[in-house]
Structure 1
């Protein structure tokens, strides 16, 4: 487990308070690891999900810091979405 995954999990836990994702989201951070969002929690896990959001660590750091909008990141090729796009949009709404 890397320090970034631990920090990202904690940051996501704050954003997920009061949320309830009916479907699962996997954040796949290239060369680092995966986080699984389910319900209102984030866990370090390689489990499959309904939607996968794939990017490098630098892009996820900017998204979590509020410096990069996830929709804009996808438009410019900074992240890729696989699976259920509606779930990805709901997840992206957590970041403004």
Structure 2
């Protein structure tokens, strides 16, 4: 069964992606919850590999989605960890702040 936060986050991301189009993929790895993969204008609950992986706990992702935590600041303060293509991570972060 899918964790309820994944469905909430998926809906919020789909709304933000309406005006975006990712050429590469981003994996959001939410500690103790699960993974979401963003590609183009789509989001799926998936463990698939992506060009960039962004890892954090649920609380940090909730704050990012709510607009109360800037992803770039979160990365600087160690609340987010990034692996893979940093340029793609920056494009993802730009959607939120």
* Partner residue, 2:43: 42
* Partner residue, 2:34: 33
Q: Deviations over 1:11-61 (max 9, x none)?
A: 000000021111000000000000000001111000000000000000000
* Partner residue, 1:23: 24
The 5-angstrom pairing of residues 1-96 of structure 1 reads 1-96=2-97
Cα RMSD for the two superposed structures: 0.5
SS in structure 1 opposite 2:69?
A: coil
> What count of residue pairs does the alignment treat as equivalent?
96
d(CA) in 2 for partners of 1:94, 1:14: 11
d(CA) in 2 for partners of 1:32, 1:90: 24
d(CA) in 2 for partners of 1:22, 1:68: 25
Gap regions ≥5 residues in structure 1 = none
